[in-house]
Amino acid sequence: MDAAPGLGAACRVSFGRSDKCVISFCRRCARADTVLKLFPGKGGWVGQTTHRLPAMVEEELMPKLNVNGRTVDVNTEGDTPLLWVLREQVGLTGSKYGCGIGACGACSVHINGDVQRSCQIALKDVKATDKIVTIEGLSPDGSHPVQKAWLKHEVAQCGYCQCGQIMAAAALLSKKPKPTDKDIDETITNICRCGTYHRIRQAIHTAAGTGNGRA
């Protein structure tokens, strides 16, 4: 592509898409208050340079997320894992980094009611309408039945993985209110290096009210 009109050859240009055009602005040079709109034309892209309108750029380039019932704006690259967006951009640090490959489940959150491993989900793949719930949003005061059962059975030892374990258990109970041992073993695949699996199973039964959770 030819040099963008109004921007120097040394400029680094960032792109954001809308339905009608591609908006770009320089990150390095003094023309950082300029927006270049690129429209598809017969001979390639046709450029038009205008002054940058902060509200317009925010709307086009800043993703919005629905987290714990509120809308938040985030300002980072689209391929950033959701885990780091939640921790560093939104300030919700309950979801933990464990393995980075989606195996351990320490980063588990709910998206539209399903438990997901947030280290494996890119920001660009999350829609503004997706409902994300983290451990901080599971209940405002820690009174969710799973959280209360976790305390009753003293499940946590080091505690690092337990936020993810609780989120996985809550998702299971929302779909199967009375899970069997087989349901728990097949569904809760989070890893606990302290080996608290027996207590986790007891706590889930207690939260479900099945009478199988024994101290």
Contact at 8 Å (CB) between 149 and 213? yes
Judge whether residue 80 has pLDDT over 60.
yes
* Model pLDDT for residues 26-42, shown as the tens digit of each residue: 444 434 445 555 555 55
Q: Which CATH superfamily is domain 63-137 in?
A: Beta-grasp domain (3.10.20.30)
In percent, the amount of the chain with pLDDT more than 90 equals 66
Judge whether residue 68 has pLDDT over 80.
yes
**What gap in Å lies between CA 209 and CA 200, rounded to an integer?**
14
Q: For residues 5-32, give the mean pLDDT.
A: 43
Structure tokens, 173 = 């109970």
Judge whether residue 5 has pLDDT over 70.
no
Q: For residues 156-181, give the mean pLDDT.
A: 96
* Model pLDDT for residues 196-209, shown as the tens digit of each residue: 999 999 999 999 99
pLDDT at site 39: 56
Give the residue range(s) of CATH 3.10.20.30 domains in the chain: 63-137
| Closest listed residue to residue 38, CA positions, set 22, 25, 51 | 22
| Closest listed residue to residue 121, CA positions, set 65, 176, 169 | 65
pLDDT at site 25: 46
**What gap in Å lies between CA 169 and CA 13, rounded to an integer?**
45
Question: Domain 140-215 belongs to what topology?
Answer: DNA polymerase; domain 1 (1.10.150)
Q: Give Dmax (Cα) for the chain.
A: 74
| Closest listed residue to residue 108, CA positions, set 125, 96, 99 | 96
Structure tokens, 88 = 């560093």
Structure tokens, 211 = 């009478």
Give the residue range(s) of CATH 1.10.150.120 domains in the chain: 140-215
Kindly calculate the radius of gyration of the chain based on its CA atoms and give it in whole angstroms. 23
What pTM, to 2 d.p., does this model score? Answer: 0.71
pLDDT at site 210: 72
